Amino acid sequence: MATERTLSIIKPDGVKNGHIGHVVSIFEDAGLKIAAMKMVVLTRKQAEGFYAEHSERGFFGELCDFMTSGPVVLMVLEGEDAIKRNRDLMGDTDPAEAASGTIRKLFAASKGENTAHGSDKPESAARELAYFFGAAFEIC
Ligand code: GDP
């Protein structure tokens, strides 16, 4: 299994509700390394660019409002099979459907405000890491 890098975001609800440490512990306990980390407040332009693939969806405005509503924590996770393992640790998009013990089941309130983002495939990870961390993390 290849070592990969993937983007994780602790969304504004996770930061506001005091779950940064819990989420980081879940990753580290699973053997994923935090290779880089920064806390930022996204601009509207950054949020819209990041979620551009959803721009035609009815929830796009709400999603961008939420993602710019407070600080987020951007992380580069590194480890074997990191992309899929991060997705597994996050759980289903809708916390009501998420498996027990997953980040979204533990901490998220709704499908919109769902605590964590994780790149869904290698192409997304490359784009998303470059988007927030620059060329150093384009290759995963
Ligand atoms: P993910 O890969 O599990 O994050 O899910 P998607 O790529 O399908 O959606 C991206 C993000 O858009 C989700 O994580 C949610 O924050 C948001 N989202 C998805 N569906 C809805 C919805 O029906 N309503 C709202 N408000 N947000 C949604």
Write the secondary structure of 35-73 as one string of H (helix), E (strand) and C (coil).
EEEEEECCCHHHHHHHCHHHCCCCCHHHHHHHHCCCCEE
Q: What is the pTM of this model?
A: 0.96
Q: Which residue's CA lies nearest to atom 28 of ligand 1?
A: 112
* Residue 117 designated active-site: yes
Q: How far is the CA of 45 from the centre of ligand 1 (A)?
A: 18
Query: Using CA atoms, how far apart are residues 136 and 48, in angstroms rounded to an integer?
Result: 23
Query: Using CA atoms, how far apart are residues 39 and 42, in angstroms rounded to an integer?
Result: 9
Q: How far is the CA of 111 from the centre of ligand 1 (A)?
A: 6
Q: How far is the CA of 35 from the centre of ligand 1 (A)?
A: 25
CATH number, domain with residue 41: 3.30.70.141
Other CB atoms within 10 Å distance of the CB of residue 74:
20
> Which residue type sits at 5?
R
Q: Which pLDDT does position 133 carry in this prediction?
A: 96
Distances (CA, A) of 99 to 18, 63, 106: 21, 23, 9
For the stretch 59-113, pLDDT in tens is 999 999 999 999 999 999 999 999 999 999 999 999 999 999 999 999 999 999 9
What is the number of the ligand 1 atom nearest to the C-alpha of 117? 4
Angle, CA 57 vertex, CA 51 and CA 59 arms, to 5°:
80
What is the number of the ligand 1 atom nearest to the C-alpha of 114? 16
Q: Which pLDDT does position 9 carry in this prediction?
A: 99
Residue 22 has pLDDT above 90, yes or no: yes
Q: Count of domains in the chain?
A: 1
Q: Which pLDDT does position 138 carry in this prediction?
A: 58
For the stretch 36-58, pLDDT in tens is 999 999 999 999 999 999 999 99
Q: Which mutation among 110, 111, 124 tests ligand 1's pocket best, with the greatest number of atoms within 8 A of CB? A: 111
Domain containing 108 equals 3-137
Residue 140 has pLDDT above 90, yes or no: no
Angle, CA 23 vertex, CA 120 and CA 138 arms, to 5°:
40
